[in-house]
Structure 1
Amino acid sequence: MLPWTTYEAMTAAALTQPETFWLEAAQRITWKQPPATACRVRKDGWYDWFTGATLNTCHNALDRHVENGRADQTALVWHSCATKEQQSITYEALQGRVAGFAGGLRALGVGKGDRVLISMPTMIETAIAMLACARLGAVHVVVFAGYAGPELAARIDDVAPKVIITASCSFQGRTAISSTPALQEALARATHTAQACIIVQRAACPTRLMAGRDYDFHTLELAAPVPPVPVMAEDPLYILHTSGTTGKAKGIVRDNGGHAVALALSMELVYGCQPGDTFFTTSDLGWVVGHSYGVYAPLISGCTSVIVEGSASASTIRTLCAEHAVTCLFTTPTQMRLIRQESRHICPPAPPTLARIFVAGEYADPTLLDWARSYFQRPVVNHWWQTETGWSITAHFFGLHEPEPTNLANEIGRPAPGFRPVIAPALPGEPCGEIMLALPLPPGCLAGVWREHSIHAPDLYLDDTGQYYRSFDEGMIDTDHAVRMLGRSDDVIKVSGRRISGIQIEKIIAIHPAVHSCAVVAVADTLRGQRPVAYVVIDTGADTPPTADDLITEVNKTLGRWTGLRDIHFVEALPTTKSGKITRKALATAQSL
């Protein structure tokens, strides 16, 4: 039960008495040694949470629920869109498999603080590997299963894993892709040599194990089970690489204590979930949403988590929601656009238990959100967070008794507890600019970055004063605390000295019912400095597709001709990252060639 009923009361508590606020929030999880203090400044200038306290994240996700009456409750449901397989596993069964696999890892020499690299698609075994590392106090490093050899080798050299865990294959669509060639190339390229490789053999594409190097995953599960190993709250739980906005991939380090506290709070406060509810995220476990809300947050909160391998269709999502009584669905705007395209002329009733839907990962335009509300007949909201923060910076709070303001329905919401955003305007007097967050960040955010085989303060993210975290996102803050997103800092277009976000133009283009998706980028202009160029994908089967003149006219009517939009390219698809985000930089680069 949350101790506040209104957003104002919650915010005031977090701002005026942060130590009390977070020590009370820390009571949501089980500690070996409870914390006496909340936040402490480190020697390197960054911050640790709940220093001196001890716990085990795996115990919080599994053992305590088994001990407290949830042994027979389903913990994980896995569905493969590629093979059509489906598995469910109870808390007790998952605890047994995790404890056994942790014993197998220990037998291979894995212990507290060792890194374990996991290159696997979304599977039950992926979650088992993550939780087994947490059980031992080892640090898991999950990477996208589709990485080629050079990219995988770079991750190996960066974290120097003692053990590498992979599956014999992953899937592109329904086509099995052997993981062996990429693994072999990565091992040959990397300067670091792992002590062992662990393979999950999949029926679609089994591989031959190399004697002396490779071990079978399921055989290791049969090892003598090990109990959870207590770790310090500030000890690392995992490293997750992100390119973010500063170029080269960085290893974001997440701690144990702050991470568990923040995720436990967020499940009730943001998502309105209670123990026993079912949470469904469509994210790959290799991304931060998969870490936070595919595995850790639901299990720490005693919920059931539904995870999927591959891109789920509208019918698959509806079926899974109905079959497993899903309470909360968490997906991406890209996935929602695919659902809209597939379900153009079909609108069956939403599963009765589905209470609300969240999207994140990139900007969701109001037209898409309005369509989703009409299609699902449920609340659908956007919220903003980053790999670095691990949970939402701004959100809509379904755990509070008061309803969310209707005027915020299409915005990214208001700051979550502990996040204190300010605007750094690019030009004096402008109400918009880069959103920066006052330090310290709340628990659950990055504990540092992994560099040269140790944890360092995230200096690349700090402003010149060292007092603010740079989000590299542009926006504005209203008097009612609402944060309004305008896009990435490098997506802002400067036309004849005036600044406009590409998202502002995208919103207008997206209103046309035949537009599936769009992206606006800046190109050089000898007269204006920069001008916008739009790339538009038309919905398959659209009855009346727009012309370029139609869309330009709408932009001019809404924003004015000063924007200089005159080029619209109709394309079959927009370039995206492996996690589904539109890569506007790729479009801008192609336009300049």
Structure 2
Amino acid sequence: MAYKDVYASWQTDPEKFWLSAAEAIDWDEAPVTALTDKGNDLYEWFADAKVNTCYNAVDRHVENGHGARVAIIHDSPITGTVHKLTYRELQERVASLAGALRAKGIEKGDRVIIYMPMVPEAIEAMLACARIGAIHSVVFGGFAANELAVRIDDATPKAIIAASCGLEPNRVVHYKPLVDGAIELAKHKPEFCVILQREQEVAKLGARDVDWHGFQAGVAPAECLPVEGNHPAYILYTSGTTGAPKGVVRHTAGHLVALNWTMKNIYNVDPGDVFWAASDVGWVVGHSYICYAPLIHGNTTIVFEGKPVGTPDAGTFWRVISEHNVKSFFTAPTAFRAVKREDPKGEFVKKYDLSCLKTVYLAGERADPDTIQWALDQLNVPVIDHWWQTETGYAIAANPMGIEHMPVKLGSPSVAMPGYDVQILDEGGHPMKPGALGAIAIKLPLPPGTLPTLWNAEERFRKSYLTHFPGFYETGDAGMIDEDGYLYIMARTDDVINVAGHRLSTGGMEEVLASHPDVAECAVIGVTDQLKGQMPVGFLCLNTGAGRKDSAVVAECVKLVREKIGPVAAFKSAVVVDRLPKTRSGKILRATMVKIADGEPYKAPATIDDPAVLDEIKIALQSIGYAK
């Protein structure tokens, strides 16, 4: 069946489509009703079902004779170790941890915050919560105490599961003092903390702390507890533009059905294949495609502790793929740009046998055509951009490789997936013609597995996503759809700039800049201009060993934008920088850069990878007359 037929079958009868997909899940009580309309633009999927996530991710594979299959490969170039866990071993470890949590009073509906590095125990903690119906909230390991405290007060967890430390290529991150500091700052106090002691740093335990292994001793393992289909599986906090972070809720049944469907239809992997999402469990990719989807589908998933370059070199990705027989690889464009910058000619790629690799997927930031083309040239496999959000939990638009390998259009994450009626709207909420730039919105209801609300914040949910375009979910992204139905994500809505009355996409300018042979990575922001309203300013990171004068590259880039987009872009200012300010998940902090350029007060966002880079950006902007 071709993509258009699959999409049409969803359009014709959405509930029948998703009930059919639900047959791949093992239910305690199978759903009879797919969609429940709660009124006021609120919906729930499979609310009448009873099911357990951990059973579907672990136990059923053991019961079906696959206990010896490897479930998790932990690869840590930082410690120089590789460790594999089978599904049977994972079942035993998760049941033991779940039993110990239950013995300490954790019950269905209780919240548990997980604050862990990239170790298998992070996955075990998530699954142990799911096993007994607890609601986990994973917080990115290394977040400052204040950010952790904010999440403690919002989720009000009964327990925190953490490690003694996290590891980065050149430093040890002291997790236990951060946890203690966060609890001290928070109004809500958890009853106990479970601490995984790592040999690189053994933490001193206090009165509320229990040792990961010690508190499991002599405790009966827990069986899987069936929960309602609309029972929250987890809360994942995503930073809002203002105020407290937003707690995205994921309901259990829809999450299971949708993620399982994506593994074959989007990522084209079969049970037993090795799937690697090079992300962190603290982000949505880590939830969906390191932990849940691969295990639900019976795949082998990789938990990777390291960086794409520097651990030990720019060949780390290729070593992991080759060594562990990875079939499908998923990472962020920013990771590929980092590798490309260090190894523009792909010398490290040539060192490894990558014949196992069939497809590469990119998401998280706009995948500029130049980066995709570099990856295509080096890897000789399809490189697929796809687009989704923390809120949706999986791809809104993609090239569905397990259904049909559709023609790739560079710069586009391809077409809307079943469940998503994606439209381009003007500021008044009216549909726009093909090729016109506008706000990307999705007609309600959203499909299974997407957010039904925010944790304890229904009004904020409405205001953030449902109010601007009644009957639609507002994505916050801007883009266009072409005549063939291909979607182009051009920028966040806030990054569409107005130059002398012309609405222009900063993403379109970035695409042009990235095509310059010496540019490894770039960003464009709109700065305030008294005459034209806004003016674009470009930031260029050059390839290692480019050997060119910065002024020459800048002049060529300005000329390139003028040639490709035209004088209307008014692109006259660019500056070379060593690095761009990013979140730990690789997103460029354009809004903070705008504040710096306009001379407004700003502070380093909690998610920033390295706050020192903001000072470098300010100095660079001052060199071209901004940030006064």
Sort the TM-score into its range (normalised by shorter chain). Answer: over 0.9
- Which residue is 1:561 aligned to? 567
Separation (CA, whole Å) in 2 of partners of 1:457 and 1:499 = 28
In structure 2, give the amino acid aligned to 1:588.
V
The correspondence of residues 469-548 of structure 1 with structure 2, limited to 5 A, is: 469-544=473-548, 546-548=552-554
Q: Which secondary structure state, in structure 1, belongs to the residue aligned with residue 162 of structure 2?
A: strand
Alignment-derived partner of residue 405 in structure 1 = 407
1:125-274 mapped onto 2 (5 Å cutoff): 125-211=121-207, 213-222=208-217, 223-245=219-241, 248-274=244-270
Cα separation, 2, equivalents of 1:43 and 1:398:
36
Are residue 446 (structure 1) and residue 456 (structure 2) matched? Answer: no
Identity of paired residues, percent? Answer: 41
2:589 maps to 583
Counterparts in 2 of 1:180 and 1:573: CA distance versus 1, 3 Å: same
Q: How far apart are residue 55 of structure 1 and its match?
A: 0.4
Structure 1 segments unaligned to the other structure (5+ residues):
none
Which residue in 1 is equivalent to 2:387? 384
Shift of 1:426: 3.7
Contact residue 462 and residue 468 of structure 1 kept, 8 A: yes
Is 2:269–2:328's contact at 8 Å kept on the other side of the alignment? Answer: yes
1:121-176 Cα distance to aligned partner (Å, 9 max, x none)? 11100000000000000000000111111111111001000000111011232311
For structure 2, the residue ranges without an aligned partner over 5 or more in a row are 600-628
Any conservation in 2 of the 1:114–1:138 contact (CA below 8 Å)?
yes
Query: CA offsets per residue over residues 258-314 of structure 1, 9 Å max, x none?
Result: 000000000001000110111001101100000000010000000000121231334
Q: Does 1:100 align with 2:101?
A: no
- 1:437 is the counterpart of 2:442: yes
SS of the residue 1:547 aligns to: helix
Q: Give the match for residue 31 of structure 2.
A: 35
Task: Please give the per-residue CA displacement for 1:347-394, whole angstroms capped at 9, x wherever unaligned.
Answer: 415511110000100101000000001111111111000000000000
How far does residue 548 in structure 1 lie from its aligned partner after superposition? 1.6
- Is the 2:45–2:254 contact (alpha carbons within 8 Å) kept by the matching residues of 1? yes
TM normalised by structure 1 equals 0.96
Greater shift after overlay, 410-419 or 299-308?
410-419
Give 3-state SS (helix, strand or coil) of 1:68's partner. Answer: helix
CA drift at 1:477: 1.3
Q: Structure 1 residue 181: deviation in Å?
A: 2.1
Q: Residue 542 of structure 2 aligns to which amino acid in structure 1?
A: I
The answer as to whether partners of 2:333 and 2:367 remain within 8 angstroms in 1 is yes
User: Please, what TM-score do these two structures have when normalized by structure 2?
Assistant: 0.91
Could you say which residue in structure 2 is the equivalent of 1:549? 555
Secondary structure, counterpart of 1:450 in structure 2:
coil
Distance 2:553 2:40 in 1: 56
Q: Secondary structure at the match of 1:327?
A: strand
User: 1-side partners of 2:560 and 2:470: how far apart?
Assistant: 43
Q: What SS does structure 1 have at the residue aligned with 2:258?
A: helix
Give yes or no for contact 1:245–1:472 (8 Å, CA) kept in 2: no
- Bigger mean CA offset, 172-181 vs 224-233: 172-181
CA distance in 2, matches of 1:393, 1:246: 25
Post-superposition offset of 1:343:
2.4
Conserved 8 A contact 1:475-1:484: yes
Indicate if the aligned counterparts of 2:112 and 2:160 stay in contact, CA closer than 8 A.
yes
The letter of the residue matching 1:420 is: D
SS in 1 for 2:98: helix
Q: Within 1, Cα distance between the matches of 2:371 and 2:531? A: 35
Alpha-carbon spacing, 1:285–1:294, altered in 2? closer, same or farther (3 Å): same
Of stretches 160-169 and 182-191 in structure 1, the one that deviates more from structure 2 is 182-191
Q: Secondary structure at the match of 2:540?
A: strand
SS in 1 for 2:95: helix
**Structure 1 residue 245: Cα displacement:** 4.7
**Equivalent position to 1:360, from 360, 363, 368:** 363
Q: Deviations over 1:189-217 (max 9, x none)?
A: 11101000110000011011113x11111
1:503/1:520 contact within 8 Å kept: yes
The offset of 1:463, in angstroms, is: 3.4
Q: Is 2:50 the counterpart of 1:54?
A: yes
Q: Deviations over 1:456-482 (max 9, x none)?
A: 854421134531000010011123221
Q: CA deviation at 1:75?
A: 0.1
Hey, what's the Cα distance between the residues in 1 that align with 2:82 and 2:44? 40
Alignment of 1:296-375 (within 5 A): 296-313=292-309, 314-345=314-345, 346=347, 347-348=349-350, 350-375=353-378
Q: Show the counterpart of 2:399.
A: 396
**1:565 to partner: Cα distance:** 1.4
- Distance, in Å, in 1 between the alignment partners of 2:115 and 2:324 is 28
Q: Compute the displacement of 1:543 (Å).
A: 3.4
Q: 1:221 to 1:404 in 2, by over 3 A?
A: farther
Q: Structure 2 CA distance, aligned partners of 1:522 and 1:464?
A: 23
Distance in structure 2 (CA, Å) of the matches to 1:137 and 1:456: 26
Letter in 2 for 1:168: S
Match of 2:274 in 1: 278
Give the C-alpha shift of residue 43 in structure 1.
5.1
The answer on whether the counterparts of 2:107 and 2:134 sit within 8 Å (CA) in structure 1 is yes
Which SS does the other structure have where 2:61 is aligned?
A: helix
1:422 corresponds to which letter in structure 2? Q
Distance in structure 1 (CA, Å) of the matches to 2:571 and 2:483: 32
Which one-letter code corresponds to 1:280 in the other structure? W
Q: Following the alignment from structure 1 to structure 2, what is the Cα–Cα distance between the partners of residues 558 and 590?
A: 28
Pair 1:415–1:350, CA change in 2 (3 A): farther
Distance 1:311 1:334 in 2: 12
Residue 85 of structure 2 aligns with an amino acid whose one-letter code is: I
> Distance between the aligned counterparts of 2:482 and 2:556, measured in 1?
32
Could you tell me how far 1:551 is from its partner in structure 2?
A: 0.8
Q: Contact conserved, 1:44 with 1:456, CA < 8 A, in 2?
A: no
The one-letter code matched in structure 1 to 2:109 is G
Q: How many residue pairs are counted as aligned between the two chains? A: 585
What is the root-mean-square deviation of aligned Cα atoms in Å?
Answer: 1.6
